[in-house]
């Protein structure tokens, strides 16, 4: 008999946060007050919080110790220089601009590189990224491979860019209208799906031919590196740290929300190799964020980020982090829950179209399902479908092929028992899925409506 070798957390627990346990009636009242939008729930009313993995990780003892070394000088903080050195050594980029979080970097980058009428190709949109590109006058074009739009397709690298689609855009608009290719590792909206190293190499060759930059959304680059290590030929014996640096070597710069991979509660940065872009960015950061040596962050936060980056590329850490996500996904598959396959790196994405086939996208099946799961167990998830996709310039809704509920697992926070509770809750809702009715939107904000929109049950 072959005995399975399980993964286990490469840490032990030093401190716990006590949680408030709620009743179904309390959760019903909380949902109604929040307009059935899980973003508007009070965190104290949430039992297991899977809304996001952004800024929700547990920091290590080393990170907490590092925060005590915070140099809060307005200019020239030693923590900035430590962070700069770590970004150069671990990620390989030359120049660093710290920002308060990832969208601060997206804002600055978009203002520098995008002109009115530009086209920005990318491997599936992300909400804040696309909005900043649009506000700068650009138009996002999706060039991800077709397999990414099929939740049941088990191609291992569904984050790959379709180079034929990119070539067609270059021929149609001309390279001068494409300031950069927006390439994300561990593509969020596709279900945390990775891009392969070979695809990156081919992308680099094509963009070099046409003189087009590649800008990397590297929020979850370490998780992408894990899938390359496990699934791509020639990388099994390479470390996560080595693979991360190679990924970055095929790009010209990156935006980073350090609140994910880098294991901190706040922070991000823009990193580039081009001096002229860096020079403009460090002038612009003073306008929108803070001085170029703190970018809206306290010194202690930069120190925690520098330490977190080093911890994030540790093989034992990333194996356990992705292993917990895979465990939850496999439990859901056992219960017959339709999820995006293969299982991604930062969460499980339930296919709301298949879960609630009787609810049309105009009645928000993913938003409805997220509310039903909270009602059942106090588990908070989030919608990633027509609400998140928003509206086109002409006012029409985007109707994405993927209508998903995202179960995002914070790093180093929950136990395997929590994963069991989550899967069992979804299974209970699945048993009564035919009784569930859709919703209508009764309040819609101008931008990024999924954060603040309100709904009513039909």
Residue among 93, 95, 125, 126 flagged as catalytic? 126
Residue among 56, 99, 127, 251 flagged as catalytic? 127
Residue among 49, 118, 162, 217 flagged as catalytic? 217
Query: What distance in Å separates the CA atoms of residue 439 and residue 39, rounded to the nearest whole number?
Result: 16
Query: What distance in Å separates the CA atoms of residue 216 and residue 162, rounded to the nearest whole number?
Result: 16
Query: What distance in Å separates the CA atoms of residue 447 and residue 458, rounded to the nearest whole number?
Result: 24
How many C-alpha atoms does 42 have within 13 Å on its Cβ side? 12
- Write out the two tokens for 368: 């409805």
β-strand partners of 382: 406
Residue among 157, 327, 430, 450 flagged as catalytic? 450
140 classed as catalytic: no
In contact, 48 and 378? CB cutoff 8 Å = yes
- In degrees to the nearest 10, what's the CA dihedral of 153, 385, 200, 99? -150
Residue among 74, 335, 443, 447 flagged as catalytic? 74
- Closest by CA to 129, choosing from 102, 148, 95, is 102
- Write out the two tokens for 390: 């928003």
278 classed as catalytic: no
DSSP state of 58: P
364 classed as catalytic: no
Residue among 158, 260, 331, 380 flagged as catalytic? 260
126 classed as catalytic: yes
Contact residues for 152 (Cβ-Cβ < 8 A; gap 6+): 341
Contact residues for 268 (Cβ-Cβ < 8 A; gap 6+): 98, 99, 100, 101, 102, 103, 104, 105, 255, 256, 257, 258, 259
In contact, 90 and 240? CB cutoff 8 Å = no
Q: Provide, for the chain, the percentages of residues in helix, strand and coil under a 3-state DSSP scheme, each rounded to the nearest 5.
A: 45, 15, 40
450 classed as catalytic: yes
Query: What distance in Å separates the CA atoms of residue 458 and residue 446, rounded to the nearest whole number?
Result: 23
* φ, ψ dihedrals at 379, nearest 5°: -85, 125
Query: For residue 290, what are the CA distances in angstroms to 65, 69, 97, 126, 299?
Result: 25, 21, 10, 25, 12
* β-bridge pairing 268-272 and 180-184: unpaired
Residue among 241, 321, 384, 406 flagged as catalytic? 384
Residues labelled catalytic? 74, 126-127, 217, 260, 384, 450
């Amino acid at each position: 008999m072959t005995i399975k070798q399980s993964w286990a957390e490469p840490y032990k627990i030093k401190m716990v946060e006590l949680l408030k346990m709620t009743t179904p009636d309390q959760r019903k009242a909380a949902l109604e007050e929040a307009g059935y939008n899980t973003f508007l729930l009070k965190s104290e009313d949430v039992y297991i919080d899977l809304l996001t993995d952004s800024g929700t990780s547990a920091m290590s003892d080393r990170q907490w110790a590092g925060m005590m070394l915070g140099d809060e000088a307005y200019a020239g903080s030693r923590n900035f220089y430590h962070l700069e050195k770590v970004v150069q050594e671990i990620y390989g980029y030359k120049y660093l601009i710290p920002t308060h979080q990832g969208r601060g970097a997206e804002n600055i980058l978009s203002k520098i590189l995008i002109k009115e009428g530009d086209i920005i190709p990318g491997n599936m949109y992300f909400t804040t990224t696309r909005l900043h590109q649009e506000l700068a006058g650009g138009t996002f074009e999706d060039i991800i491979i077709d397999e990414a739009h099929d939740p049941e397709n088990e191609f291992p690298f569904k984050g790959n860019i379709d180079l034929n689609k990119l070539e067609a855009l270059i021929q149609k608009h001309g390279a001068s209208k494409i300031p950069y290719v927006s390439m994300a590792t561990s593509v969020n909206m596709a279900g945390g799906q990775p891009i392969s190293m070979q695809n990156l190499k081919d992308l680099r060759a094509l963009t070099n031919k046409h003189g087009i930059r590649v800008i990397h959304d590297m929020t979850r680059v370490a998780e992408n590196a894990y899938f390359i290590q496990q699934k791509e030929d020639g990388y099994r014996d390479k470390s996560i740290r080595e693979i991360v640096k190679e990924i970055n070597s095929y790009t010209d710069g990156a935006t980073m929300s350090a609140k994910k991979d880098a294991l901190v509660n706040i922070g991000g940065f823009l990193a580039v190799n081009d001096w002229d872009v860096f020079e403009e960015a460090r002038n612009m950061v003073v306008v929108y964020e803070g001085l170029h040596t703190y970018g809206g962050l306290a010194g202690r936060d930069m120190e925690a980020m520098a330490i977190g980056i080093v911890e994030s590329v540790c093989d034992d850490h990333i194996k356990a982090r992705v292993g917990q996500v895979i465990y939850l996904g496999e439990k859901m598959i056992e219960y017959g829950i339709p999820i995006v396959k293969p299982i991604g790196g930062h969460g499980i994405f339930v296919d709301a179209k298949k879960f609630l086939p009787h609810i049309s996208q105009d009645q928000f099946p993913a938003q409805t399902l997220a509310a039903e799961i909270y009602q059942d167990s106090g588990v908070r998830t989030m919608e990633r479908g027509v609400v998140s996709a928003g509206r086109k310039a002409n006012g029409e809704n985007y109707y994405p092929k993927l209508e998903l509920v995202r179960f995002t697992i914070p790093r180093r926070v929950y136990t395997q028992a929590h994963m069991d509770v989550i899967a069992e809750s979804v299974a209970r809702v699945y048993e009564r899925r035919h009784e569930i009715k859709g919703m209508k939107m009764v309040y819609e904000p101008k931008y990024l409506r999924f954060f603040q929109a309100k709904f009513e049950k039909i």
